[in-house]
Chains A and B, each alone.
Chain A
Amino acid sequence: MSTLSARPTSAVSRSRRTTVTVQAAAYNGSYAEELVATANKIASPGKGILAMDESNATCGKRLESIGLENTVENRQAYRELLVTTPGLGQYISGAILFEETLYQDTRKGTSMVAELNKSGLVPGIKVDKGLHPFANTNGESWCAGLDGLAQRCADYYKQGARFAKWRSVVSIPAGPTSIAVRDCAYGLARYAAIAQNAGLVPIVEPEILLDGEHDIDRTLEVAEMTWAETFKYLADNNVLFEGILLKPSMVTPGAEHPKRSTPEEVASYTLKMLRRRVPPAVPGIMFLSGGQSELESTLNLNAMNQSPNPWHVSFSYARALQNTVLKTWKGEEANVQIAQESLLKRAKANSDAQLGKYDASGESADAAKGMFEKGYTY
């Protein structure tokens, strides 16, 4: 879908006093074609993203849950297990890494990046600097990371990353206040523009947190407002929509709402939201799992792909791909192969869901266990 033209020479912004020449185009610099190609490669049929960009602290929590110490070697061993899974490239088109992992080698001396490229996975990198308390709001957070971002992105590109990720959050129990929604959108838009100028496809992630007692209608309301604001700021910042990917949360009731929703209801609400807010120029929408169980995440994705969509509708799952893998590995070398097989199994399930042909028979009870943690920090 590459319909890029030569950059127009100039456009004059109307003013009575001065004449100023401004860029009159979405990003159309030297990386433009590559961005579009990368975005489309990641958003190809039957493929999704493996999110494995947990910070060292969060990765530590994962290792702790299977009785392992949070050391650089253990993190290395775990990530190596993931990236060297044979055949992963059949179902996974990209992997998001934390900075440590982007610069890490496997124990046999090959780089993590090389292993990913060998399997046909595009390496991605988390570039935000985490959430901070937001002054004068209702206990909400804002996402930091714009300072020095241009340089960081350039360095990451050199190291082999080709897409980036920035996660901002919106809290329904806290409001959300319009200040918080605006800042979430603003930060994402500025990050996206900077990333594109450095050759990285930005994944745009305003996560509407699962926490809360609200019903699915309230989630829809907040999601629509958040995406309207986000697209407005993206457009204002001349972001090239053909070269981004979205990472939304699905539209579900809050975790503490008494009534659960079926996959069909989640799909119907989520698709309605997407159809109302996402221009078709965006090639791919890669959902986060955000505390849903492995099974739920796959069923919901499958329900969304029962008829053709104007954009690729797929997954970018962390917990929903890794949960069983971790529990199977338990840190034992002897379990590496069987753990890798369980990753492949989950990846294939979600690949099938992306194609709308997932069959849930043969799933274990473990896959159905919820992974919601109230007040989860990452």
Chain B
Amino acid sequence: MQASLSSRPNIACRSQFAAGAAATSKRSRCSSVVVAGLATEKDNPFAEELKANAKHISRRGRGILASDESNATTGKRLETIGVDNTEDNRRDWRQLLYTAPDLGNYISGAIMFEETLYQKSREGVQFVDLLKEQGILPGIKVDTGLQVLPGTDGETTTQGLDNLGARCEAYYKQGARFAKWRAVLKISEGEGPSSQAILENAHGLARYAQIAQQNGLVPIVEPEVTLGPGAYSIEETAYWSERVYSHVMRLLNEYDVLLEGILLKPNMCLPGLDAPSASPAEVAKYTVRTMMRTIPPSVPGIHFLSGGMSEEESTLNLQALQDACPNSPWSLTFSYGRALQSATLKTWQGKEENWGKAQAILTALAKANSEAQLGQYKGPHPAPGGGRILQALRFGGAGK
């Protein structure tokens, strides 16, 4: 099924959609009777496009390149190779990624930060067009960062609902076809996330997903149960992940999100940082079991984040997932940031002469993960033997 990068449906469709909204909302004023909302399959003019794009991004042998680091975070990355955090340098870095030869054979979508969505290459070509040439759908991070929940032990909520509809509409116009919003839940020292944190983050994700779909963007729903300190077991991670995902799925229903038109971006199940690390087979066993228990088959793609895993670990674990679940109803694939970018960045060093080599590493990493998605990865790994790639949670709004 061909991904559609068509222009927006015309204005008539939108007002018909709005009229439908008014009619249904009258009905919902009758007491506590169960009704559906506005973004159901029949009422949303973007419905077919959302389903087609979600299917296209999650097709076998493909995954997502997560390159949506905020300017501040990108600055931290560039700092590690001695490059200044300027707009031009950020542009160069992303251009390196998006023009890597043959990247589109393995990558179906690239998530961008807002600045990048509107950026052009050195030669003046819009990044969205460069990606289109590669057959890669542009995505956009739409949340505006984490905030600490008062009264909790450093737990967070994710911000970004204000004005989200208008922003999504503008991003769609610019060429984005999917969106991403990252919610973070913490396990640490064996304590699971509080119910306040779970409810708050599930709510944010569901509302975001609903708004994104209303505006033609496939929402990546990312409830990250983040890797943290402590010697807690992989079973505990699995349990808390189940709790979180079941709340998320319940609210996605409550807010009438079309499941065939979303993608999920969960964590793999790993033990705590101070516990002995788990083998790929063990990670796969618990991760698959968690997905089987919580994610209905109509979600076309589950794109795991690499959060904390080394590059090689990310690939080996992805391969193990296919071994553990050969007939999975959803695609078990990847949306990797650090696991695709770390070695690439190190190879580039900000130097023009390393440009080609760095691109080659990126494509090789993408290829390895594509093979792993198909259950066909054999090695050797393009970036072997790395340790955990961790970063502290950053707070505050976007652009800081």
| Smallest beta-carbon distance A8→chain B, Å | 4
A310 touching B192 by the CB < 8 A rule? no
Q: Which residue of A lies closest to B239 (CB)?
A: A24
B239 touching A176 by the CB < 8 A rule? no
B13 interface residue, CB < 8 Å from A? no
B151 interface residue, CB < 8 Å from A? yes
Contacts of A224 in B (CB 8 A): 36, 253
A366–B197 Cα gap in the complex (Å)?
A: 58
B289 touching A3 by the CB < 8 A rule? yes
Residues of chain A whose beta carbon lies under 8 Å from any beta carbon of chain B = 3, 5-6, 8, 10-16, 24-26, 138, 175-179, 181, 217, 221-222, 224-225, 228-229, 231-232, 235-236, 241-242, 272, 275-281, 310
A279 touching B296 by the CB < 8 A rule? yes
Q: Which residue of B lies closest to A226 (CB)?
A: B34
Within 8 A of A (CB), among B235-285: 235-236, 239-240, 242-243, 246-247, 249-250, 253-254, 259-260, 285
Q: Which residue of B lies closest to A218 (CB)?
A: B36
Q: Which residue of A lies closest to B245 (CB)?
A: A235
Q: Which 5 A-B pairs have the closest CB atoms?
A: A228-B253, A235-B246, A281-B292, A275-B298, A232-B250
Contacts of A217 in B (CB 8 A): 42
| Smallest beta-carbon distance B229→chain A, Å | 14
- Of B33, B239, B246, B254, the residue contacting A8 (CB under 8 A) is B239
A16 touching B151 by the CB < 8 A rule? yes
| Smallest beta-carbon distance A254→chain B, Å | 15
Beyond the given pairs A24-B240, A175-B33, A275-B296, 9 more chain A to chain B contacts, judged by CB atoms under 8 angstroms and listed by A's residue number, are: A8-B235, A14-B194, A176-B33, A178-B32, A231-B249, A235-B242, A272-B298, A277-B253, A277-B296
Among B285, B288, B298, chain A packs the most CB atoms within 10 A around the CB of B298
Q: Which residue of B lies closest to A176 (CB)?
A: B34
B293 touching A26 by the CB < 8 A rule? yes
A13 touching B329 by the CB < 8 A rule? no
Among B242, B247, B296, chain A packs the most CB atoms within 10 A around the CB of B296
Contacts of A310 in B (CB 8 A): 297, 329
A272–B285 Cα gap in the complex (Å)?
A: 28
B191 touching A12 by the CB < 8 A rule? yes
How many contacts A-B (CB < 8 Å)? Answer: 117
B34 touching A232 by the CB < 8 A rule? no
Given contacts A176-B34, A221-B36, contact A24 B192 (CB under 8 A): yes
Contacts of B297 in A (CB 8 A): 275, 278, 280, 310
Given contacts A5-B235, A224-B253, A279-B296, contact A236 B246 (CB under 8 A): yes
B35 interface residue, CB < 8 Å from A? yes
Given contacts A3-B285, A221-B36, A280-B329, contact A10 B190 (CB under 8 A): yes
Interface residues on B, range: 35 or more
Within 8 A of A (CB), among B183-202: 189-194
Residues of chain B whose beta carbon lies under 8 Å from any beta carbon of chain A = 31-36, 40, 42, 151-153, 189-194, 233, 235-236, 239-240, 242-243, 246-247, 249-250, 253-254, 259-260, 285-286, 288-289, 292-298, 329
A225–B254 Cα gap in the complex (Å)?
A: 8
| Smallest beta-carbon distance A182→chain B, Å | 10
Contacts of B298 in A (CB 8 A): 272, 275-276
Contacts of B239 in A (CB 8 A): 8, 11, 24-26
A204–B347 Cα gap in the complex (Å)?
A: 56
A231–B243 Cα gap in the complex (Å)?
A: 12
Among B153, B192, B253, B260, chain A packs the most CB atoms within 10 A around the CB of B253
B296 touching A278 by the CB < 8 A rule? yes
Contacts of A235 in B (CB 8 A): 242-243, 246, 293-294
A13 touching B191 by the CB < 8 A rule? yes
B250 touching A229 by the CB < 8 A rule? yes
Contacts of A15 in B (CB 8 A): 194
A110–B278 Cα gap in the complex (Å)?
A: 53
Contacts of B242 in A (CB 8 A): 26, 235
Contacts of B289 in A (CB 8 A): 3, 281
User: What would 10 A/B residue contacts be, using CB atoms closer than 8 Å?
Assistant: A3-B289, A11-B192, A16-B151, A24-B240, A138-B33, A235-B246, A242-B293, A276-B259, A277-B253, A279-B294
A279–B295 Cα gap in the complex (Å)?
A: 5
- Of B34, B236, B260, the residue contacting A225 (CB under 8 A) is B34
B34 touching A228 by the CB < 8 A rule? no
Contacts of B293 in A (CB 8 A): 26, 235, 241-242, 279, 281
B192 touching A228 by the CB < 8 A rule? no
A14 touching B34 by the CB < 8 A rule? no
| Smallest beta-carbon distance B197→chain A, Å | 8
